[in-house]
């Protein structure tokens, strides 16, 4: 029987080859977005009048909540190198469903559940077309964007349903007692924790990165790519349905045109948060910071009296800069690594 | 817990983000009262002094009708000493007005003058603004009466509807098919006028058939396209009534360059400057309006009276409105500007708005 022997000898000192911890922490995409958010908040607090009131947080978080919610599954989808452009139309579809059921006398709780279920069904349709039929998600979701929007507008026509139970609309607009934070943030935090744990701490989450980086390799490693993507699209549809119910209650208004253009805001925020459009990299805290950054910029500029079109321009510039800086950072790293390699060779 | 992918750095930054979020919340909580101590902001709760901060929020920006009413409001505010601000969404949808109402509430303005895209959708936001002492005056397009303090009505809805029906009836010889090209489908004022027009037609003009009501959303291109579609769908169409300045301009522009010029009558509510060329070349015989500058002017003075406490919006209150004279609040918190005015080739040269 072998006996265990202690190996003794000179202790070797590790030669650090990697980047130091502070660099790894700060010089990530997520670190950059969070840093930018901090800077914007500080600048806004000091220069924009009325920004430092608790109303700012309330209005900001309440308005940005649907985007925050939808950005969670959208991050996972984009990490797998897919995309879901139909989310805003699903929000409208869910909103219209809630509106029609409420108008026709159904109990409101049933209407809410139906709204979420409609979202899940929409996500299933998307997932089916992408995974079973094998169509590219960009094409599928552009089509379903139009289809769901058309159904929403067609169902309700030019009417709007505005009569919702008072206790639910005031709940949607309420804050957590004693704080200026809207109550919807409780739901968001729960969902964010779930998505965060799934993405960063489960094999399922790791498989998403694998799929995004190399679909074939992931497949041959035993990942069920089709089923994974299907689950993601259903999740996206369900969360969009929930966001649709919240949106309806927040504005007290179910219309076919609700949330037009929201998909662009979600995707822009996700990309701003450091998720690569080519898949395979990204993290939830960056995305949350990205959504908050766009929301804070908009809120601060509106308070400062800047008009809506200029706010759009500024938001667009921020997005372009973030994409450019990502490429620049990548180039910079490569240049330094090359220089260091050359330096070591000669030294 | 976050795995090798983000490493300790990632977790560090997750913690940093949470700390910052907590810091933001604490900063907001610590400054319990809205900090209006920078010179740029209007002083909240300064209802007594002579600096009235009034924000105008029309249905959308970039609409010449609202540019004119905003100018009227600015003129009034310059007269009685105040700060004028105009904000608005780029498209006329109800939910997009909400963020501007919230901003106005945050800035602590004295009064908000708004033309609503939907009678109910902005009610909750308006109530929130009123709860922080912002007076709410609606003009042009009302909300539900519970969520505003006053409504400045440009003319009696019944009068507006009747004038338009009489104009189109005169122009098509009392019989034939007509259609209505409206603005946003939920706009309070539009729907009120359309309903009254239908009643007026049913009561007094049995030989005129209203075949369709289409919505141009106060967007020029959409209105243009809807006009084209109407003429395609109803080849017997004799007239189009458009009770919105964007709609009538777009419809006239389409008719002017088409084979239907002179055969299909176009009338409705339009501004003289926009309609001048169509009246001069005969595409449009007559149209009606009131003076939107006067409307904005009156709304600003009404807002000032509310902020000062001179009136509360109850029936019978009177207030002074500068060069327009004295006005009395009617039932339901409504103030009436006056009668609609008919413009045609004889008098259009006298006006410039």
Are A38 and B20 an interchain contact pair (Cβ–Cβ within 8 Å)? yes
Cα gap B72→B292, rounded to integer Å: 7
Residue A179 touches chain B, beta carbons under 8 Å: yes
CA distances from B344 to A34, A53, B170, B262, B351 (A): 61, 53, 13, 15, 11
Chain A CB contacts of B98 below 8 Å: 63, 251
Are A31 and B9 an interchain contact pair (Cβ–Cβ within 8 Å)? yes
CA distances from A105 to A152, A159, A315, A344 (A): 19, 17, 42, 77
B271 SS3 class: coil
Q: What is the mean predicted confidence (pLDDT) over A301-318? A: 85
Q: In Å, how far is A252's CA from the nearest CA of chain B?
A: 6
Sequence-distant (≥ 6) Cβ neighbours of residue B274 within 8 angstroms = B64, B245, B248, B249
Residue pairs between chains A and B whose CB atoms are closer than 8 Å: 156
Kindly compute the dihedral angle of the four CA atoms of residues A144, A145, A150, A151, in this order, to the nearest 10 degrees. Answer: 60
| Pairing mode, strands B176-182 and B237-242 | parallel
Residue B16 has pLDDT above 50, yes or no: no
Residue B120 touches chain A, beta carbons under 8 Å: yes
> What values do phi and psi take at B131, rounded to 5?
-70, -20
Q: Which residues pair with B241 in a beta bridge?
A: B180, B267
ipTM of the complex model: 0.75
Chain B CB contacts of A253 below 8 Å: 94-95, 118, 120-121
Residue pair B114/B101 in contact by the 8 Å Cβ criterion: yes
Q: What is the mean predicted confidence (pLDDT) over B186-201? A: 91
Rg (CA), chain A: 23
CATH number of B52-154+292-337: 3.40.50.2300
Q: Tell which wins on pLDDT, A187 or B186.
A: A187
Q: In Å, how far is A190's CA from the nearest CA of chain B?
A: 15
Q: Does residue A212 belong to any structural domain of this protein?
A: yes
Q: Does residue A12 belong to any structural domain of this protein?
A: no
Residue pair A67/A262 in contact by the 8 Å Cβ criterion: yes
User: Domains of chain B: which residue ranges?
Assistant: 52-154+292-337, 157-289
Residue A166 touches chain B, beta carbons under 8 Å: no
Chain A CB contacts of B34 below 8 Å: 50, 52-53, 55
Judged by phi (left if over 0) then psi (alpha if -120 to 50, else beta), residue A7 lies in beta
Residue B87 touches chain A, beta carbons under 8 Å: yes
Task: Write out the DSSP string of B122-134.
Answer: THHHHHHHHHTT-
Q: Tokens standing for A110?
A: 């049933």
Start-to-end CA distance of chain B, whole Å, equals: 67
Start-to-end CA distance of chain A, whole Å, equals: 50
User: Chain A 77-136, CB below 8 Å of chain B: which residues?
Assistant: none
Cα gap A73→A276, rounded to integer Å: 15
> What values do phi and psi take at B104, rounded to 5?
-60, -40
Residue B219 touches chain A, beta carbons under 8 Å: no
Range with top average pLDDT, A3-17, A237-251, B90-104, B300-314? A237-251
Residue at token pair 């141009």: B216
Residue pair B90/B97 in contact by the 8 Å Cβ criterion: no
CATH tag for B157-289 (out of 3.55.40.20, 3.40.50.2300, 3.30.450.370, 3.30.540.10)? 3.40.50.2300
Q: In Å, how far is B110's CA from the nearest CA of chain A?
A: 14
User: What pLDDT, in 10s, does the model give residues A128-149?
Assistant: 999 999 999 999 999 999 999 9
Question: Mutate which of A159, A169, A252, A286 to disrupt the B interface (most B C-beta within 10 Å)?
Answer: A252
Q: How many domains does chain A have?
A: 1
At B33, is the pLDDT very low, low, confident or very high (cuts 50, 70, 90)?
Answer: very low
- Rounded to the nearest 10 degrees, the angle between the axes of helix A284-303 and helix A29-47 is 20
Residue pair B88/B58 in contact by the 8 Å Cβ criterion: yes
Q: In Å, how far is A100's CA from the nearest CA of chain B?
A: 16
Cα gap B204→A342, rounded to integer Å: 93
Domains B52-154+292-337 and B157-289 belong to one CATH topology = yes
Residue pair A36/B18 in contact by the 8 Å Cβ criterion: no
Q: What is the mean predicted confidence (pLDDT) over B45-50? A: 46
Q: Which residue among B2, B24, B34 places its CB closest to the CB of A55? A: B34
Residue B6 has pLDDT above 60, yes or no: no
Q: Tell which wins on pLDDT, B185 or A230.
A: A230
Q: Tokens standing for A327?
A: 């490429």
Residue A34 touches chain B, beta carbons under 8 Å: yes
Q: Does residue A8 belong to any structural domain of this protein?
A: no
Are A158 and B6 an interchain contact pair (Cβ–Cβ within 8 Å)? no
pLDDT of residue A310: 87
Find the angle CA(B45)-CA(B51)-CA(B52) to the nearest 5 degrees. Answer: 70
Chain B CB contacts of A303 below 8 Å: 103, 106-107
**With pLDDT > 90 as the criterion, what percentage of chain A qualifies?**
52
Burial A292-307 (b: 16+ CB within 10 A, else e): bbbbbbbbbbbbbbbe
At B44, is the pLDDT very low, low, confident or very high (cuts 50, 70, 90)?
Answer: very low
Q: Does residue A216 belong to any structural domain of this protein?
A: yes
Chain B CB contacts of A201 below 8 Å: 1-3
The residue among B232, B226, B228, B224 whose CA lies nearest residue B214 is B226
The pTM of this model reads 0.77
Domain that holds residue A156: 54-260
Q: Tell which wins on pLDDT, B347 or A127.
A: A127
User: What pLDDT, in 10s, does the model give residues B194-226?
Assistant: 999 999 999 999 999 999 999 998 999 999 999
Sequence-distant (≥ 6) Cβ neighbours of residue B284 within 8 angstroms = B248, B252, B265, B266, B267, B270, B275, B278
Question: Mutate which of A23, A39, A53, A299 to disrupt the B interface (most B C-beta within 10 Å)?
Answer: A53
Are B121 and A37 an interchain contact pair (Cβ–Cβ within 8 Å)? no
Alpha helices in chain B (DSSP H): 3-30, 64-80, 94-107, 123-131, 157-172, 188-204, 220-233, 245-256, 272-280, 292-308
Residue B96 has pLDDT above 90, yes or no: no
Q: Tokens standing for A307?
A: 């008009």
The burial class, CB within 10 Å (0-12 / 13-18 / 19+), for B64 is middle
Q: Does residue A232 belong to any structural domain of this protein?
A: yes
Residue at token pair 């060069």: B323
Residue A21 touches chain B, beta carbons under 8 Å: yes
Q: Tokens standing for A144?
A: 């379903």
Residue A335 touches chain B, beta carbons under 8 Å: no
Are A63 and B185 an interchain contact pair (Cβ–Cβ within 8 Å)? no
Sign of CA dihedral A183, A186, A187, A192: positive
The DSSP letter of residue A18 is: S
A214 SS3 class: coil
**Nearest residue on chain B to A303, alpha-carbon basis:** B103
Ordered strands of the B176-182 beta sheet: B208-215, B176-182, B237-242, B265-268
Entry field: residues in chain B: 353
**Nearest residue on chain B to A158, alpha-carbon basis:** B185
Q: Does residue A37 belong to any structural domain of this protein?
A: no
Residue A302 touches chain B, beta carbons under 8 Å: yes
Residue A213 touches chain B, beta carbons under 8 Å: no
Chain B CB contacts of A260 below 8 Å: 93
Q: Does residue A248 belong to any structural domain of this protein?
A: yes
Are A53 and B34 an interchain contact pair (Cβ–Cβ within 8 Å)? yes
Alpha helices in chain A (DSSP H): 21-26, 29-47, 54-79, 87-103, 108-127, 137-156, 166-173, 184-201, 203-213, 215-220, 225-251, 262-272, 284-303, 308-346
Chain B CB contacts of A45 below 8 Å: 27
pLDDT of residue A25: 66
Sequence-distant (≥ 6) Cβ neighbours of residue A84 within 8 angstroms = A73, A74, A77, A126, A137, A141, A233, A236, A263
Residue A180 touches chain B, beta carbons under 8 Å: yes
> What values do phi and psi take at A16, rounded to 5?
-70, 125
At B47, is the pLDDT very low, low, confident or very high (cuts 50, 70, 90)?
Answer: very low
């Amino acid at each position: 029987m072998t006996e265990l022997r202690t190996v003794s000898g000179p202790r070797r000192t590790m030669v650090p080859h990697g980047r130091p911890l502070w660099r790894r922490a700060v010089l990530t995409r997520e670190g950059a977005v969070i840093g930018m958010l901090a800077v914007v908040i500080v600048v806004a607090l000091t220069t924009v009048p009325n920004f430092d009131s608790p109303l700012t947080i309330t209005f900001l978080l309440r308005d940005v909540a649907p985007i925050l919610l939808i950005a969670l599954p959208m991050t996972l989808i984009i990490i797998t190198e897919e995309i879901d452009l139909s989310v805003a139309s699903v929000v409208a579809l869910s909103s219209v469903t809630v509106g029609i059921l409420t108008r026709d006398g159904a109990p409101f709780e049933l209407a809410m559940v139906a709204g979420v279920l409609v979202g899940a069904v929409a996500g299933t349709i998307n997932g089916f077309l992408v995974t079973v039929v094998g169509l590219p998600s960009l094409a599928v979701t552009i089509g379903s964007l139009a289809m769901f929007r058309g159904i929403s507008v067609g169902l309700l026509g030019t009417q709007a349903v505005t009569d919702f139970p008072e206790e639910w609309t005031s709940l949607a607009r309420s804050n957590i007692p004693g704080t200026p934070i809207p109550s919807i943030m409780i739901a968001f935090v729960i969902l964010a924790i779930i998505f965060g744990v799934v993405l960063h701490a489960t094999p399922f989450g790791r498989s998403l990165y694998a799929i995004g980086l190399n679909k074939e390799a992931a497949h041959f490693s035993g990942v069920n790519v089709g089923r994974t993507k299907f689950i993601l699209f259903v999740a996206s549809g369900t969360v969009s349905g929930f966001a649709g119910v919240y949106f309806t209650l927040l504005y007290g208004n179910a219309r076919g045109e609700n949330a037009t253009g929201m998909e662009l805001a979600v995707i822009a925020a996700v990309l701003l948060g450091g998720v690569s459009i080519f898949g395979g990299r990204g993290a939830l805290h960056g995305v949350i910071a990205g959504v908050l950054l766009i929301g804070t910029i908009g809120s601060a500029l509106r308070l400062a009296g800047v008009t809506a079109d200029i706010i759009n321009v500024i938001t667009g510039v921020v997005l372009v800069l973030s994409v450019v800086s990502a490429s620049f950072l990548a180039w910079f790293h490569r240049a330094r690594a090359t220089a260091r390699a050359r330096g070591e060779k000669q030294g | 817990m976050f795995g090798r992918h983000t490493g300790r750095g990632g977790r560090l930054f997750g913690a940093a983000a949470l700390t910052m979020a907590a810091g933001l919340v604490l900063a907001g909580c610590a400054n319990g009262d809205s900090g209006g101590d920078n010179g740029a902001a209007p002083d909240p709760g300064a209802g007594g002094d002579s600096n009235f901060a009034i924000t105008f929020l029309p249905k959308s920006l970039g609409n010449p009708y609202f540019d004119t009413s905003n100018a009227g409001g600015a003129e009034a505010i310059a007269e009685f000493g105040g700060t004028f601000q105009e904000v608005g969404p780029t498209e006329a949808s109800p939910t997009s007005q909400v963020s501007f109402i919230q901003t106005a509430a945050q800035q602590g303005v004295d009064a908000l003058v708004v033309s609503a895209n939907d009678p109910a959708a902005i009610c909750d936001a308006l109530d929130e603004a009123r709860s922080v002492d912002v007076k709410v005056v609606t003009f042009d397009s009302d909300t539900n009466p519970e969520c505003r303090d006053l409504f400045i009505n440009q003319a009696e809805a019944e009068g507006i509807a009747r004038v338009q029906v009489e104009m189109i009836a005169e122009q098509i010889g009392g019989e034939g098919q007509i259609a209505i090209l409206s603005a946003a489908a939920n706009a309070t004022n539009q729907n009120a006028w359309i309903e009254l027009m239908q009643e007026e037609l049913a009561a007094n003009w049995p030989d005129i058939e209203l075949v369709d009501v289409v919505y141009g959303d106060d967007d020029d291109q959409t209105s243009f396209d809807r006009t084209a579609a109407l003429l395609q769908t109803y080849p017997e169409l004799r007239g189009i009534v458009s009770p919105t300045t964007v709609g009538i301009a777009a419809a006239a522009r389409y008719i002017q360059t088409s084979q239907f010029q002179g055969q299909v009558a176009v009338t409705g509510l339009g501004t003289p400057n926009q309609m001048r060329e169509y009246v001069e070349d005969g595409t449009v015989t007559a149209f009606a309006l009131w003076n939107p500058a006067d409307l904005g002017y009156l709304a600003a003075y009404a807002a000032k009276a509310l902020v000062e406490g001179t009136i509360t919006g109850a029936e019978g209150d009177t207030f002074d409105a500068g060069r327009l004279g004295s006005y009395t609040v009617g039932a339901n918190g409504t103030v009436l500007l006056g009668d609609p005015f008919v413009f045609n080739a004889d008098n259009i040269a006298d006006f410039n708005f």
